[in-house]
Structure 1
Amino acid sequence: MRGRPLLLLLLLSGLVLVAGMADVWVDLHSPRFVVHHHSATLRCDHNIDPQALYKVVFFKNAQRIMKYVRERDPPFELYNITGAEINLMKLTPTSITLDKMDFTASGSYACEVAIETPLFYSKVSRIHELTVIVRQKFRPKIKIKHKKLTSTEYLDATCQSTPAHPPPHLTWFINNEKVDERLTIPHGTTTAHRAHHGMQLSVTSSSLHFPLSSLTLFPNQTVDITCLSTIPSYPSNGEGFADVQNHTISVNVVRIEPAPTQLPVKIISSDPNLSAQRKIDRMLIALLLFACHFISESINSV
């Protein structure tokens, strides 16, 4: 009987604690892309009091790669990880650094935090995808049939990226304005004739069919065409592109003025009275001029 109040107090404390754990958050902070043979630091962020933190575990593809348990000796326990080396000098209870990352280090990563007292509770972060990449060595190549066009023609061009992994994404720009994708024709990816440390690289191709009449052009204007080649297709939040190359060429466009819609027309009045009045006026003017001439001749003869 004497132990029941204490037991009840512990149970109530546990319920309060479990209810409070609903406000606990944990997040794995890691780069989305890592260049082949470079390093990456994975950090397990959380809002648990460091004094209450009991355990932190890092996972790759749902398999443990590192476990930290407070007050154990040693506190760290490392597991096998393919495609990378764990940097022991940079190891902390909430972070792990992977060196010399190979392509097999790509995968799904997550972390877990836990408390032990008064009741055991743990929470796992969302899965974070990490990909080891090979950057493009050169800018993409733009090919165009004619570098001088008229404003009534279509601009037709093709672009191909240089080899990379994963395949780059191509985006077209005209005068620094993104082109509507409905005016582009993606040709997909093809395997390149080279590999990087056993990884087969790929190239991406795309075509452009753009009506120059949609532009506001000045006489003999130069139009800039840009092909942007990136990994990934959109920049990551806070990180930008993992790899980016671009190529710009200029095309001379001759503006053609539109033909007139109708020829000049002489307007003739359809009012017969007005036409007759004009004839009378012309006759009176002729008679007046004749009279003036006659008077002048008479004066001279005198």
Structure 2
Amino acid sequence: MVNLDCLTRITVTPFVLVILCVCWISAGTCSSLKIVGVAVPPLADLREPANLACSYDTGQDALFSVKWYKDDHEFYRYMPMHKPSVLTFPFEGAELGDKSCGKSQCSVRLEHLSPSASGAYTCEVSIEAPTFRTAIETRNMTVAAFPLEEPRIEGLRSAYTIGDVLDITCKSAPSAPAAQLTMFVNNKEASLTSEV
């Protein structure tokens, strides 16, 4: 907010108006930097690559940098005005695959995921001097190995009579973390020693 008392004591000349406009612009009222969207899969299968994308709008300002972080550790930097324009840094849980950054979007692919790739992924976009204004957005990703098939019941006979003992096993395909299985008989949850 402009202090009008201060302005009433200044003799307004074209030079003073230019200084006021420059001060107002450098205070950030004219910057339109914004992150339009960040796409990070909330759940990623460790057998598949994960694609991260950050879309941004720098308005009239030039892009200075786009950085990707995992849990506050920078692993990718794009600076279009520098040579080299791309820097990568090792990080735990994945390897960097394809990368593509430009004026309005930056995408990276994470490959060879492990459970330690789970965490908070942040896109940080900065504009050029004089303000170097920055916009940041974070999304969480959990890495797991989903079962590749439905759970199956083993030991089930085609018919039972009253008083028969039902001795069955419910199994799931391998997964990480391990699947939690619940058995239902006649739409009621069955315990390990249920009588129905």
- Do Structure 1 and Structure 2 share a fold, with TM-score over 0.5? yes
> How many percent of aligned residue pairs carry the same amino acid?
23
Matching residue within 122, 140, 153 for 1:129: 140
Q: Look up the match of 2:41.
A: 31
* Cα deviation digits, residues 33-68 of structure 1 (max 9, x gap): 333353222111123348632221101011111112
> What CA distance in whole angstroms lies between the structure 2 residues aligned with 1:78 and 1:66?
5
Regions of 4+ moved over 4 Å: 143-150, 157-160
- After TM superposition, the score normalised by the length of structure 1 is 0.46
User: Relative to structure 1, is the Cα distance of residues 37 and 138 closer, same or farther in structure 2, using a 3 angstrom cutoff?
Assistant: closer
C-alpha separation between the residues in 2 aligned to 1:56 and 1:165? 33
1:71 Cα shift? 0.8
Is 1:8 aligned to 2:20, yes or no?
Answer: yes
Following the alignment from structure 1 to structure 2, what is the Cα–Cα distance between the partners of residues 32 and 122? 24
Q: TM-score when scaled to structure 2?
A: 0.67
Q: Which runs of no fewer than 5 residues in structure 2 stay unpaired? A: 1-12, 163-167, 189-196
- The reply to whether residue 210 of structure 1 matches residue 186 of structure 2 is yes
Relative contact order higher in (CA < 8 Å, ≥ 6 apart): 2
Distance 1:27 1:14, change over 3 A: same
1:99 Cα offset (Å): 2.1
| Local SS of the residue matching 1:71 | coil
* Whole-angstrom distance in 1 between the partners of 2:187 and 2:50: 45
Letter in 2 for 1:66: Y
Name the one with the larger helix percent. 1
Cα RMSD between the aligned structures?
3.3
Whether the 8 Å contact between 1:160 and 1:204 is mirrored in structure 2 is no
Cα distance, 1:102 vs. partner? 2.5
Structure 2 letter corresponding to 1:6: V
Q: Indicate if the aligned counterparts of 1:27 and 1:111 stay in contact, CA closer than 8 A.
A: no
Q: Does 1:111 align with 2:123?
A: yes
Q: For residue 193 of structure 1, what is the aligned residue in structure 2?
A: none
Equivalence for 2:85: 75
For 2:44, what is the secondary structure of its paired residue? strand
Gaps of 5+ in 1: 151-156, 167-201, 213-302
3-state SS of 2:52 partner: strand
Structure showing greater Rg: 1
